[in-house]
Amino acid sequence: MNIYETPLPGVLVFEPRVFSDPRGFFLETYHQQRYRAAGIEIDFVQDNHSYSQQGTLRGLHYQLQHPQGKLVRVVSGEVFDVAVDIRKGSPWFGQWFGERLSAENKKQLYIPPGFAHGFCVLSETADFLYKCTDFYYPDDDYGVAWNDPDLAIDWLLEQPTLSSKDEALPKLKDIQEPQLPAYAVAEV
């Protein structure tokens, strides 16, 4: 497995080793010892599967009291996946990283707790799978506007399809400090 660091410390791209032959392919999608060796020493407690149509944008989401680290991948189609550092006091506050994830490239992205996360679907449809380090709590669900001009994320599409919840998310500068995760120096 190849592991690539990104400009945001803690956000990692994984490229699993794929064993192909005329019958198809095999790969390990998760191996606890290998991910722990890469610094992901958190247990995953929930797996999610999202199916979306082309142009769908989901995000940017985070939980505050129950922050979720996420290991994400695509099993059909292609998405542009984005992590945004929203930890108050972080030297990388407001910076984002995006990666194309697809069934073809089989890459995975790890988004640590304390980051907002979102993705948009570039293919006709996409099946998006992710492992979470904490459970989903509807009362602890927060988010940042996908089109926040201060973030200036290039989503690779013009007019996404959004949920009404995502359409109403605030800009990062409008979120009160108590509703943002804190940065701890030991996190890096």
Per-residue pLDDT tens digits for 4-22: 999 999 999 999 999 999 9
Round to whole Å and give the CA distance between 15 and 184: 28
Q: Model's pTM, two decimal places?
A: 0.94
Please write the tens of the pLDDT for every residue from 99-122: 999 999 999 999 999 999 999 999
Consecutive 10-residue averages of pLDDT for the chain (188 residues): 95 94 92 91 95 98 97 98 97 98 98 97 98 97 98 95 98 96 76
Which of the residues 35, 62, 110, 130 is marked catalytic?
A: 130
- Dihedral sign for Cα 153, 75, 162, 8, please: negative
Catalytic annotation on 31? no
The distance from CA 50 to its chain's CA centroid, rounded to whole angstroms, is: 13
- Dihedral sign for Cα 20, 46, 57, 90, please: negative
Round to whole Å and give the CA distance between 33 and 23: 28
Q: How many CA atoms lie within 13 A of 49 on its CB side?
A: 3
Catalytic annotation on 130? yes
**What is the set of domains in the chain, with CATH numbers?**
2-173 (2.60.120.10)
Torsion of CA 39, 144, 153, 95, to 10 degrees: -50
